[in-house]
Amino acid sequence: MGNEALNPILTPEQYDQAVRLANIFMPYAGRQRRALFEKEPDQTHARLIHYTTAESAISIIRSKRFWMRNTNCMSDYREVQHGYDILQTFFSDQAKHNAFTKALDVCTQGVALEAIKMFDDWWTHIRFSTYISSISEHDDLADCGKTYAATQILSGFRSCD
């Protein structure tokens, strides 16, 4: 993990498709993302902050890698299970299950039940192999650090759309 070049994981077409799917399945996140880049005309980046230790920030800078943490190792480890419980409650309501199936099957017949089965088959993997990291949007770096512990630092990242 030196200074070698990082290869993009997605092609531009795959990236566009991922954004479209994210807007369908995570509409709130999509609206937030669009709002972030619509604040100023011709804005091409945003200031994102990751709260971390100085040691971790140096590691991020040196390795050019941003590590994520397994959700089972975090204090709020039940969040993934809570999301699953919400899905279970939603799909246990037959009217909602039917509406979901009908909406997706308009695109491709049978795709809804296939997606549900695929998700169910992957649930154990999702539950134990979900990794997250916390990043916040901040316009003013001076404000976001005022209440942060002296032993921690703010790592600023420039995000380009």
26-54 average pLDDT score: 77
Q: Is the pLDDT of residue 1 over 50?
A: no
Q: What is the pLDDT of residues 94-138, one digit of tens each?
A: 999 999 999 988 888 999 999 999 999 999 998 898 888 877 776
Within a domain: residue 14? Answer: no
Q: What is the pLDDT of residues 59-95, one digit of tens each?
A: 888 888 888 889 888 877 788 889 899 999 999 999 9
List CB contacts of 150: < 8 A, sequence separation 6 or more. Answer: none
> In terms of Cα–Cα distance, which of 145, 160, 140, 158 is closest to 52?
145
Within a domain: residue 124? Answer: yes
The whole-angstrom separation of Cα 149 and Cα 4 is 34
> In terms of Cα–Cα distance, which of 159, 157, 143, 124 is closest to 52?
157
Kindly report the backbone phi and psi dihedral angles of residue 85, in degrees, each rounded to the nearest multiple of 5, phi listed first. Answer: -60, -40
Within a domain: residue 62? Answer: no
Within a domain: residue 128? Answer: yes
> In terms of Cα–Cα distance, which of 135, 134, 143 is closest to 159?
135
> In terms of Cα–Cα distance, which of 70, 67, 27 is closest to 50?
67
Judge if pTM exceeds 0.85: no
Q: State the residue range of the domain holding 96.
A: 71-132
Q: What's the structural domain count of the chain?
A: 1
Q: Decide which of 150 and 54 is more confident.
A: 54
pLDDT band at 8 (very low <50, low <70, confident <90, very high): low
The whole-angstrom separation of Cα 50 and Cα 156 is 7
Within a domain: residue 17? Answer: no
Q: Is the pLDDT of residue 4 over 70?
A: no
Within a domain: residue 97? Answer: yes
Q: Is the pLDDT of residue 38 over 80?
A: no
Within a domain: residue 90? Answer: yes
